[in-house]
Amino acid sequence: MIDERTSLADEVFDNYKRYVNPPLARVMKLSGSPVEVRASGTTIWDHTGKAYLDFAGGYGVFTLGHSHPRVIAAVKEQLDAMSLSGKTMFNVLLGRAAKRLAELAPGDLEISFWCNSGTEAVEGAIKLARAATGRTKVVSTIDAYHGKTLGALSVSGRPAFQERFRPLLDDVAHVPYGDAALDEALHDAAAFIVEPVQGEGGVNVPLPGYLRAVREACDRSGALFIADEVQTGLGRCGLLFGCDRDGVVPDVMTLAKGLSGGVVPVGAYIARTPVWNRAYGKAPLLHTSTFGGSEIACAAALAAMEVLVDDGLVECARVRGAQLLDGARALADEFGDVIAAVRGLGLLVGIELTNEGYGGWIIPEMLKRGVTVAWTLNQQRVIRLEPPLVVTEDEIAYALEALRAGLANAYENLGRL
């Protein structure tokens, strides 16, 4: 048995090293990354049978936990009937999923385009804004993360991810996140794209009222307000959508991650009907996707939206998020030399370290104790805690204890940096 496990770990490392991503393979091996083989609810099991509480949560994908039985059952049933759309005929489930999304989305957001990832949803939103306004400029925020395809990368805010791919979209401007003085930047712009909470930028929570000010500035300039809710949407922040915090309705909202309950890759944007009509009212095939809106993806999304509502998971995120944030703040008091700040909304919590080096001792120690956490992509000094919304009180208490052990380990080994 031991040999089998060892050979599985060796096989996956060799395959990664040769066929997937050699430098990533080495980093993952050095950080002691195990091999995932099974997952359910808040737990992932590795190749040795060890269980881990998933506080990285697939970077926000597993809102319902892993393999939610209702979503799995809906997908299995659909697989027997038809899995991918033939595209030449009406697709019942796409119609139903789009209708349900419009019912849940704020205000008059109504027409949705379905794709397979967050970055595609962002690409679609940028194209929609350009086609609807006849303008080209897109304004974004410093430290934003919107994805890694060329358009989404252009409006992301981390130069290190962009440099090798220039020239990107050329009519893009970046403004400080949280700064409501937008009139000058938005002059003649097609859109302002913004995350209600910057996730990968280090879990940056703006002051209440920021999104309202964004709405007003967009109205003054004629730029479309694109809320990128790929990470904040569908309950993550203890609200159905991050925009609900300020009670605002954007012109376009992008979604992905939790949209199918973490079972089938799916993304979407949803737009106000007049906006969509201005762009595509007479040109239905200008923006399409072969796989987007497939029957299995829509079956998963429909089931996931039902579970989110039926099981009251938005409220769970609010209550458990408060527990997690309070616990993390108490640890910040205890380990003031290691933690610079704790920020969060709902179950999207970031721990900013005083020095990036501490993370290399915290994350492996937590992994050893059976808790997965991860850096934020644009800000290596911030560790994110982003568990499924079904996480229990005891599981949060356990993860906080593991975090305490990680912090103690970091301080013992590195002292004050």
Q: Which residue is nearest to ligand PLP (CB)?
A: 118
CB contact set of 73 (below 8 Å; sequence gap of 6+): 303
* Smaller CB separation from ligand PLP, 112 or 409: 112
- Rounded least distance, CB 152 to ligand PLP, Å: 6
* Residue 199, CA distances (Å) to 96, 148, 176, 413 in order: 30, 15, 15, 29
- Rounded least distance, CB 59 to ligand PLP, Å: 5
What are the φ and ψ backbone dihedral angles of 27, each rounded to 5 degrees?
Answer: -60, -45
Coil vs helix vs strand at 381: strand
- Rounded least distance, CB 257 to ligand PLP, Å: 7
- Rounded least distance, CB 119 to ligand PLP, Å: 3
d(Cα 329, Cα 385) in Å, to the nearest integer? 13
- Rounded least distance, CB 123 to ligand PLP, Å: 9
* Smaller CB separation from ligand PLP, 119 or 140: 119
d(Cα 173, Cα 199) in Å, to the nearest integer? 20
* Smaller CB separation from ligand PLP, 231 or 409: 231
Q: Which of 183, 270, 174, 253 is nearest to 218 (CA)?
A: 183
Q: Which of 171, 145, 173, 170 is nearest to 160 (CA)?
A: 145
* Smaller CB separation from ligand PLP, 118 or 321: 118
* Smaller CB separation from ligand PLP, 155 or 410: 155
* Smaller CB separation from ligand PLP, 122 or 243: 122
- Rounded least distance, CB 44 to ligand PLP, Å: 19
* Residue 324, CA distances (Å) to 56, 359, 384 in order: 14, 19, 12
Q: Which two structure tokens, joined as six digits, stand for 17?
A: 């090293």
d(Cα 78, Cα 72) in Å, to the nearest integer? 10
CB contact set of 118 (below 8 Å; sequence gap of 6+): 146, 147, 152, 228, 230, 231, 254, 255, 256, 257, 267
- Rounded least distance, CB 145 to ligand PLP, Å: 5
Contact 387, 43 (CB under 8 A): no
* Smaller CB separation from ligand PLP, 61 or 403: 61
The position carrying tokens 């208490």 is 397
Q: Which two structure tokens, joined as six digits, stand for 307?
A: 């579970």
* Smaller CB separation from ligand PLP, 195 or 395: 195
Per the DSSP assignment, residues forming a β-bridge with 351 are 342, 383
* Smaller CB separation from ligand PLP, 389 or 400: 389
> Cα dihedral sign for 236, 240, 245, 251?
positive
The position carrying tokens 């997908």 is 75
- Rounded least distance, CB 330 to ligand PLP, Å: 28
d(Cα 398, Cα 351) in Å, to the nearest integer? 17
Residues near ligand PLP (CB under 6 A): 59, 117-119, 122, 145-147, 195, 199-200, 228, 230-231, 256
- Rounded least distance, CB 231 to ligand PLP, Å: 4
